[in-house]
């Protein structure tokens, strides 16, 4: 994936990072996930609970009273936008709306002061751990395999996916324009732009709620940021023949050159400057959306997650080796939105996501990294209840659906609380891949709920944001560094 020059630069960057960590222990935590997986909410909830001393019974350092305090500090990378925690927590707590989704990379530095778990070390001054949280779109990870693919390989894979039955309607306008292109004709900027826009529109349509497809590189076509309209993003796959040389200045040669520019200008800098510097990683997965869209969406999510996990550099290096090569030694795969299900289904949700990432997780374990899969809600927007229906007790969740959400013929205004029976997940995850015996698309009732109203103590103090297993996530990601 990288050249010798790239690896040499990574070594120099890593030595600089490790040298700083000798005097100020630092852990770089990567937070990623595909669109709508809840990255922004997770980071906001994590920081909120640490700053406010939230209810985290399974986060041992907090539960044992060893966390002395936490505060936000100035981030180390001046060229990276700051994660706007204050804006996000205000929207969740005061406005009760979810913050905007991740559109580009951002960073936040959190410092935790703590007492050691060792009686001997508690006689010494308390420790401090700096956590640099790096938030980036999972779609960008899907670009990393492109580094080793030439334009012909990328084009063949992309066009083959576009012709799949599950994508035929979304891809039709793009494929129609593609069929009209003369590969050997002189490059035409208008045609290149039209193809690029049609290709991007097709990728965005696949990502929409109804389709819920996930394998959609190039990732910056979905989230272009400040590169929108640049030549590096003005290309599209073409039906070029592998190994064939096209005339200089032809449409095929023109778009091939721009594809290579995309890798040089966009993909490699992201890998070198951010991704390769991570120590730990959480991958957030919204499996419910794919499950409700049907078997093809589930299979596509499995492919995307496998591709993402294959990009990580897992492993456990020696002390000397860690000075030269940075490895991700812990990977947490979290199935989000567990609050959209009754707790009876949480185990099944975790089992489904475990099935989706089995092969990739096995490879990570083989290389020495610790991995874990859990069902989680960083902010719990619902509570559980039981209702009687025709003499049968049904486990339901109760919350306030967001304005515009619907269940059957019922439309919600964002103010009315309601009980929802979301349906049952299958005991055997393999059923989700079976068009004949799987879950009927659309049979599960998933709506977007508003964030909860914060509860208060008898003394009138507001409690921290409720969650499901955020404490387990923190213990896995940070617990051993707070001993």
Q: Do 312 and 370 meet the contact criterion of CB atoms below 8 Å apart? A: no
CATH number for the domain including 34? 3.40.50.300
Cis peptide before 218 (omega within 30 of 0): yes
Choose the final residue of a domain: 266, 288, 323.
Answer: 266
Cα–Cα dist 157/98, whole Å: 36
- In this structure, the answer to whether residues 129 and 94 fall within a common structural domain is yes
pTM of the model: 0.87
Tens-digit pLDDT string for the chain (483 aa): 555 565 555 555 655 555 555 557 899 999 998 878 999 999 999 999 999 999 999 999 999 999 999 999 998 888 899 999 999 999 999 999 999 887 788 999 999 999 988 765 554 556 899 999 999 888 888 888 898 899 999 999 999 999 998 898 999 999 999 999 999 999 999 999 999 999 999 999 988 866 677 888 998 898 887 778 889 999 999 999 999 999 999 999 999 999 999 999 999 888 888 888 899 999 999 999 888 888 888 888 998 888 888 888 777 654 444 444 678 999 999 999 999 999 989 999 999 999 999 988 887 777 888 999 999 999 999 999 988 877 788 889 999 999 999 887 889 999 999 998 888 888 888 888 877 666 676 667 788 999 999 876 665 556 789 999 999 999 999 999 998
Q: Do 267 and 146 meet the contact criterion of CB atoms below 8 Å apart? A: yes
- In this structure, the answer to whether residues 11 and 131 fall within a common structural domain is yes
Note the pLDDT of residue 18. 52
Note the pLDDT of residue 442. 65
- In this structure, the answer to whether residues 156 and 182 fall within a common structural domain is yes
Find, among 328, 321, 281, the residue nearest to 305 by Cα: 281
Residue 200 lies in a domain: yes
Note the pLDDT of residue 366. 74
- In this structure, the answer to whether residues 338 and 244 fall within a common structural domain is no
Q: Do 243 and 225 meet the contact criterion of CB atoms below 8 Å apart? A: no
Query: b/e string for 367-401 if b means 16 or more Cβ within 10 A?
Result: eebbbbbbbbbbbbbbeeeeeeeeeeeebbbebbb
Find, among 93, 160, 101, the residue nearest to 453 by Cα: 93
Find, among 32, 15, 11, the residue nearest to 283 by Cα: 32
Residue 280 lies in a domain: yes
Residue 337 lies in a domain: yes
Number of structural domains found in the chain: 2
Residue 123 lies in a domain: yes
Cα–Cα dist 117/32, whole Å: 31
- In this structure, the answer to whether residues 159 and 203 fall within a common structural domain is yes
Q: Is residue 134 within a helix (H) or strand (E), and if so which, with residue range?
A: strand 127-135
From residue 21, alpha-carbon distances to 79, 112, 117, 332, 426 in Å are 20, 14, 21, 23, 46
Cα–Cα dist 472/477, whole Å: 9
Choose the final residue of a domain: 211, 238, 266.
Answer: 266
Residue 452 lies in a domain: no
Cα–Cα dist 134/277, whole Å: 10
Q: Is residue 323 within a helix (H) or strand (E), and if so which, with residue range?
A: helix 319-324
- In this structure, the answer to whether residues 131 and 12 fall within a common structural domain is yes
- In this structure, the answer to whether residues 109 and 163 fall within a common structural domain is no
Residues 259, 265, 266, 272, Cα dihedral to 10°: 130
91: DSSP letter: I
Find, among 57, 13, 21, the residue nearest to 132 by Cα: 21
Residue 434 lies in a domain: no
Could you list the residue range(s) of the whole structural domain that residue 34 is in? 4-136+274-379+469-482
- In this structure, the answer to whether residues 195 and 294 fall within a common structural domain is no
Cα–Cα dist 214/221, whole Å: 13
- In this structure, the answer to whether residues 88 and 202 fall within a common structural domain is no
Residue 428 lies in a domain: no
Choose the final residue of a domain: 234, 266, 298.
Answer: 266
- In this structure, the answer to whether residues 476 and 346 fall within a common structural domain is yes
Cα–Cα dist 32/104, whole Å: 11
- In this structure, the answer to whether residues 171 and 260 fall within a common structural domain is yes
Cα–Cα dist 317/301, whole Å: 31
Cα angle 11-17-23, degrees, rounded to a multiple of 5: 140
Residue 15 lies in a domain: yes
Q: Do 85 and 43 meet the contact criterion of CB atoms below 8 Å apart? A: yes
Cα–Cα dist 247/285, whole Å: 44
- In this structure, the answer to whether residues 90 and 122 fall within a common structural domain is yes
């Amino acid at each position: 994936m990288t050249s010798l020059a790239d690896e040499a630069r990574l070594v120099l960057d890593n030595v600089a990072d490790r040298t700083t960590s000798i005097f100020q222990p630092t852990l770089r935590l990567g937070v990623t996930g595909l669109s709508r997986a809840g990255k922004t909410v997770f980071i906001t909830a994590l920081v909120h609970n640490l700053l406010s001393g939230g209810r985290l019974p399974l986060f041992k350092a907090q539960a044992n009273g060893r966390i002395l305090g936490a505060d936000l500090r100035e981030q180390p990378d001046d060229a990276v936008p700051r994660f706007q925690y204050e804006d996000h927590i205000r929207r969740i707590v005061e406005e009760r709306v979810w913050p905007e989704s991740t559109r580009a990379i951002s960073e936040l530095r959190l410092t935790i002061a703590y007492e050691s778990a060792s009686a001997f070390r508690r006689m010494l001054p308390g420790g401090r751990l700096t956590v640099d949280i790096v938030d980036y779109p999972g779609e960008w990870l899907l670009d990393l395999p492109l580094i080793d693919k030439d334009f012909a390989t990328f084009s063949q894979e992309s066009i083959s996916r576009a012709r799949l039955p599950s994508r035929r309607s979304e891809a039709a306008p793009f494929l129609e324009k593609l069929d009209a292109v003369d590969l050997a004709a002189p490059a035409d900027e208008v045609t290149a732009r039209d193809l690029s826009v049609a290709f991007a529109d097709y990728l965005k349509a696949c990502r929409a709620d109804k389709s819920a497809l996930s394998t959609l590189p190039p990732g910056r076509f979905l989230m272009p940021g400040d590169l929108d309209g640049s030549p590096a993003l003005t290309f599209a796959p073409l039906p070029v023949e592998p190994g064939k040389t096209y005339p200089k200045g032809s449409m095929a040669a023109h778009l091939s050159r721009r594809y290579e520019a995309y890798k040089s200008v966009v993909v490699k800098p992201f890998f070198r400057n951010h991704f390769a510097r991570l120590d730990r990683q959480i991958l957030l997965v919204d499996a419910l959306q794919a499950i409700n869209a049907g078997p093809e969406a589930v299979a596509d999510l499995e492919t995307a997650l496998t591709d993402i996990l294959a990009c990580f550099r897992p492993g456990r290096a020696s002390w000397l080796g860690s000075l030269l090569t940075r490895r991700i030694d812990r990977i947490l795969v979290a199935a989000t939105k567990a609050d959209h299900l009754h707790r009876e289904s949480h185990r099944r949700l975790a089992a489904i996501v475990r099935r989706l990432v089995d092969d990739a997780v096995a490879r990570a374990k083989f290389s020495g990294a610790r991995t874990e899969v859990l069902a989680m809600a960083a902010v719990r927007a619902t509570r559980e209840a039981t209702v009687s229906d025709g003499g049968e007790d049904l486990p339901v969740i109760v919350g306030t659906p967001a304005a515009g959400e619907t269940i059957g013929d019922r439309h919600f205004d964002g103010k009315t609380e309601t009980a929802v029976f979301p349906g049952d997940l299958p005991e055997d995850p393999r059923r989700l891949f079976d068009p004949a015996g799987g879950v009927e698309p659309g049979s599960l009732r998933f709506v977007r709920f508003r964030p909860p109203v914060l509860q208060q103590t008898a003394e009138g103090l507001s409690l921290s944001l409720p969650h499901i297993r955020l404490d387990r996530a923190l213990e896995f990601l940070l617990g051993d560094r707070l001993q």
